[in-house]
């Protein structure tokens, strides 16, 4: 089929051609100028005109001449006519066209020329005047009956039969020299080796395999080497080189993860430096400062996932040991709160009664806005009622926000029925108003009894209520009994506006507890706080640390811990046991004088040992002491100047002590028995005694 170049026909500004059938194709180029169904267009003969995509009739924008694409193109075109020129198809683009494939156009279409002299429009080497080649074709189009006349070729010996010949061994023939050992090129650099020739694969063999005058370049079997800048035997995979031999400073692996640090390589020892020393792709979690607080866990960070928790951080009231000192929410917390006394227990406190701490003491709340702390029904947020009290502490009594205040409607015409759009809220009936609101606006035809109610703020059906729950576009709300923002799916209510105590969400799993709802913090309280279907899960923020208690003394080993909401078997809530194999040794044990640190305080046989004796200063070193300011309680004597008794009645003379000889009647009680011995014959010797 002859191809008509439509763009060439349509792109002629101001050119007018006759188009009898109005299909957008000029009559001279139309296969059937009297039928729109056959327009030789790009739709391959589909019913309809060019661009109609097969629609019957001519409803698309036509490619027309002079009328800018009138729809339907049923009106004759107007414009300036032009002279058509015959153009010849030049398929091989050699500048000479086909004598048989032509088209007519005002200007030259792409791929066409103004002559039809090509004898083979599929071969760009055949055209008038072309040189004759040994190819069995009439290259010069001279139509003289001779083929390959005056053509000749040079052939080269190919001794190794690799398709490439020896440039020094050639013959000249007239289009018939080809044989099994002759080729048409002399590009072989080694005609004795069939593996050596142009375009052969280069190998690491000290041979110029591809005849490019270079040896072993870009060899297919060359090795990949990696720069080893730090000399640790592991290379940088990003800095590689391909070569047949190992370059200086390169190694055969690219496993180094930091080639500027000789201490970092696969197999290196990990240190507390925040680096992947052993190149295993993992920096130990206790070395990383994952939370960006400047301290890693191996440097003392007690919570590596929280950037606000680290040694030296400011302690705040958040149930977290912010400063990693082992104590949570101390009294010096930066945000310690002030709490206010709530005598009536309504959740609102008295600003005159305060207490400062992180958590609320019993009988105290965070609010200080109660205007009557003796009445639990009076507080901010309470329902205002018509009772002569300021129930909601807003400074007004029986205000128009009272829950039992009445709606009073203006009765301008005095007929006893009020206008629902003109009203006021009050506890007492205002003058000129009534309680009835059934008077519709007769000036609005859209409001009438029996009309469909919608959520539009108007009483469409004149039943006295606007936007009732039966409105066709009312929303479903869910009771939020605990006021946590999440509703109970079991207690829906349909309404236009959100009812008090209701929300749009229905995902609360316990609507009686405002601390339980999706997104709440899970804690160890036997509740599913965050409504995720699990109770006291691993995400509970207040899980306790338990210590393995091998000797069952109630104190565990600090080195063996577990975190859980409930106490695991064999674990204790308290740590600090310095000997978990001896149930008599623990932080709660009594210290005794037994050369053992019984109470795990790091000291042995301290002065507070329950069986520690009292030592008394023995000034005269006679083995008997006297009670004084130097009395000392300890497991062992402080020095040789102390003894374990206070029996000396005069500690300034070593001849005076219990058991000493008492000189009679000398006024001194040498034996400390409380009396001076009399000088009588107490031993019946017949002589007067000198002492007892």
Question: Residues 651-668: what's their mean pLDDT?
Answer: 92
> What does the pLDDT read at residue 436?
77
Assess whether pLDDT exceeds 70 at residue 43: no
Q: What pLDDT digit, counting tens, does each position of 605-634 carry? A: 888 899 899 999 999 999 999 999 999 999
> What does the pLDDT read at residue 421?
82
> What does the pLDDT read at residue 286?
83
> What does the pLDDT read at residue 172?
66
**Distance separating alpha carbons of residues 484 and 497, to the nearest angstrom:** 19
Assess whether pLDDT exceeds 90 at residue 493: yes
**Tokens matching residue 613:** 């004796």
Residue 53 pLDDT level (bands cut at 50, 70, 90): very low
**Distance separating alpha carbons of residues 565 and 553, to the nearest angstrom:** 21
Q: Which of 161-170, 385-394, 460-469 has maximum average pLDDT?
A: 385-394
Three-state DSSP class for residue 299: helix
DSSP secondary structure letters along 367-415 = ----S-TT-TT-STTSPP-SSSS-TT-SS-SS-TT-TTPEEEEE-TT-S
**Distance separating alpha carbons of residues 260 and 251, to the nearest angstrom:** 15
Residue 154 pLDDT level (bands cut at 50, 70, 90): confident
Across the chain, what does the average pLDDT equal?
Answer: 83
The angle at the Cα of 639, spanning 634 to 640, to the nearest 5 degrees, equals 125
Compute CA distances 609 → 162, 593, 605, 682, whole Å: 103, 6, 6, 48
Q: Which of 164-178, 285-299, 645-659 has maximum average pLDDT?
A: 645-659
**Distance separating alpha carbons of residues 23 and 410, to the nearest angstrom:** 75
Residue 531 pLDDT level (bands cut at 50, 70, 90): very high
Question: Residues 83-107: what's their mean pLDDT?
Answer: 94
> What does the pLDDT read at residue 633?
93
Q: What is the percent of the chain with per-residue pLDDT over 90, rounded to a whole number?
A: 53
Question: Residues 574-600: what's their mean pLDDT?
Answer: 92
Compute CA distances 48 → 32, 57, 95, 620, 667, whole Å: 13, 5, 37, 139, 154
Assess whether pLDDT exceeds 50 at residue 75: no
Assess whether pLDDT exceeds 60 at residue 12: no
Q: H helices then E strands: how many in the chain?
A: 1, 26
Q: Strands 80-81 and 15-16: what pairing?
A: parallel
Taking the mean position of all CA atoms in its chain, how far away is CA 632? Answer: 65
Question: Residues 465-483: what's their mean pLDDT?
Answer: 92
DSSP secondary structure letters along 549-578 = -TT-SSB-EEEEEEEESSPPTTEESB---S
Q: What is the DSSP letter of 580?
A: T
CB 550, CB 581: distance < 8 Å? yes
Assess whether pLDDT exceeds 70 at residue 481: yes
DSSP secondary structure letters along 99-165 = SS-EEEESSPPTTEES----S-TT-TT-STTPPP-SSSS-TT---SS-SSTT--EEEEE-TT-SS--
Question: Residues 582-605: what's their mean pLDDT?
Answer: 92
Q: Strands 406-410 and 419-426: what pairing?
A: antiparallel
Question: Residues 70-90: what's their mean pLDDT?
Answer: 66
CB 158, CB 191: distance < 8 Å? yes
> What does the pLDDT read at residue 102?
96
Residue 23 pLDDT level (bands cut at 50, 70, 90): low
Bigger pLDDT: 32 vs 54: 32
CB 587, CB 577: distance < 8 Å? yes
Bigger pLDDT: 54 vs 359: 359
Assess whether pLDDT exceeds 50 at residue 176: yes
**Distance separating alpha carbons of residues 655 and 640, to the nearest angstrom:** 18
Residue 457's contacts (CB-CB under 8 Å, 6 or more residues apart) are: 466, 467
Assess whether pLDDT exceeds 60 at residue 57: no
Q: What pLDDT digit, counting tens, does each position of 309-347 carry? A: 999 999 999 999 999 999 998 878 999 999 999 999 999
DSSP secondary structure letters along 304-366 = TT-TT-STTPPP-SSSS-TT-SS-SS-TT-TTPEEEEE-TT-SS--EEEEEEEESSPPTTEES
**Cβ-based burial of 420 (10 A; exposed 0-12, middle 13-18, buried ≥19):** buried
Assess whether pLDDT exceeds 90 at residue 434: no
pTM, two decimals, is: 0.28
> What does the pLDDT read at residue 460?
75
- H/E stretch holding 480 reads none
Q: What are the residue ranges spanned by the domains of the chain?
A: 659-692
């Amino acid at each position: 089929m002859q191809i008509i170049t439509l763009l060439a026909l349509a792109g002629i500004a101001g050119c007018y051609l006759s188009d009898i059938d109005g299909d957008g194709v000029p009559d001279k180029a139309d296969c059937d100028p009297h039928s729109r169904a056959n327009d030789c267009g790009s739709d391959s003969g589909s019913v309809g005109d060019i661009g109609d995509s097969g629609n019957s009739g001519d409803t698309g924008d036509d490619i027309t001449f002079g009328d800018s694409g009138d729809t339907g193109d049923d009106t004759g075109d107007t414009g300036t006519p032009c002279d058509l020129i015959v153009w010849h198809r030049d398929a091989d683009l050699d500048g000479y066209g086909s004598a048989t494939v032509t088209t007519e156009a005002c200007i030259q279409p792409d791929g066409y020329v103004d002559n039809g002299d090509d004898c083979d429009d599929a071969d760009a080497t055949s055209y008038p005047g072309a040189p004759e080649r040994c190819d069995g074709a009439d290259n010069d189009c001279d139509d003289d009956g001779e083929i390959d006349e005056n053509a000749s070729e040079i052939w080269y010996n190919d001794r190794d039969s690799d398709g490439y010949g020896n440039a020094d061994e050639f013959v000249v023939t007239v289009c018939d020299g080809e044989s099994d050992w002759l080729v048409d090129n002399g590009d072989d650099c080694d005609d004795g080796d069939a593996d050596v020739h142009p375009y052969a694969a280069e190998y690491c063999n000290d041979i110029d395999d591809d005849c490019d005058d270079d040896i072993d370049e870009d060899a297919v079997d060359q090795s990949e080497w990696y720069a080893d800048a730090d000399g640790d035997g592991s290379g940088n995979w990003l800095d590689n080189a391909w070569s047949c031999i190992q370059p200086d400073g390169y190694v055969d692996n690219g496993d180094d993860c930091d080639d500027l640090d000789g201490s970092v390589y696969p197999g290196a020892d990990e240190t507390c430096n925040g680096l992947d020393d052993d190149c295993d792709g993992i920096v130990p979690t206790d070395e990383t400062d994952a939370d960006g607080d400047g301290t890693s866990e191996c440097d003392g960070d007690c919570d590596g996932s929280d950037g606000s928790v680290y040694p030296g951080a400011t302690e705040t009231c958040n149930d977290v040991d912010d400063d990693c000192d082992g104590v949570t929410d101390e009294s010096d917390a930066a945000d310690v709160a002030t709490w206010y006394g709530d005598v009536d227990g309504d959740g609102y406190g008295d600003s005159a009664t305060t207490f400062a701490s992180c958590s609320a003491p019993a009988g105290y709340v965070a609010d200080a806005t109660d205007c009557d702390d003796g009445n639990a029904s009076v507080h901010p947020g309470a329902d205002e009622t018509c009772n002569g009290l300021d129930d909601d502490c807003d400074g007004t009594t029986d205000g128009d926000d009272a829950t039992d205040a009445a709606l009073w409607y203006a009765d301008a015409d005095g007929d006893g029925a009020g206008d629902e759009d003109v009203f006021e809220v009050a506890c007492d009936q205002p003058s000129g108003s009534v309680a009835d609101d059934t008077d519709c606006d007769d000036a609005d035809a859209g409001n009438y009894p029996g009309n469909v109610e919608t959520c539009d703020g108007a009483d469409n059906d004149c039943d006295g209520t606007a936007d009732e729950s039966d409105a066709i576009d009312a929303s479903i709300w869910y009771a939020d009994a605990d006021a946590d923002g999440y509703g109970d799916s079991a207690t829906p209510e349909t309404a236009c506006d959100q009812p008090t105590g209701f929300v749009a969400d229905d995902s609360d799993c316990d609507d009686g507890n405002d601390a339980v709802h999706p997104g709440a913090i899970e804690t160890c309280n036997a509740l599913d706080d965050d409504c995720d279907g699990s109770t006291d899960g691993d995400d509970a923020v207040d899980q306790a640390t338990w210590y393995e208690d091998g000797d069952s003394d109630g104190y565990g080993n600090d080195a063996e811990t577990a975190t859980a909401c409930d106490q695991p078997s064999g674990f204790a809530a308290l740590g600090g046991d310095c000997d978990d194999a001896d149930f008599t040794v623990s932080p709660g044990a009594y210290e005794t004088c037994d050369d053992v640190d019984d109470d795990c305080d790091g000291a042995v046989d301290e002065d507070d040992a329950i069986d520690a004796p009292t030592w008394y200063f023995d000034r005269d070193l006679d083995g008997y002491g006297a009670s004084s300011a130097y009395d000392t309680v300890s497991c062992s004597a402080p020095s040789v100047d102390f003894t374990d008794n206070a029996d000396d009645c005069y500690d300034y003379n070593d001849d005076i002590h219990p058991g000493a000889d008492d000189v009679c009647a000398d006024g001194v009680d040498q034996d400390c028995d409380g009396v001076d011995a009399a000088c009588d014959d107490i031993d019946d010797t017949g002589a007067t005694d000198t002492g007892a």
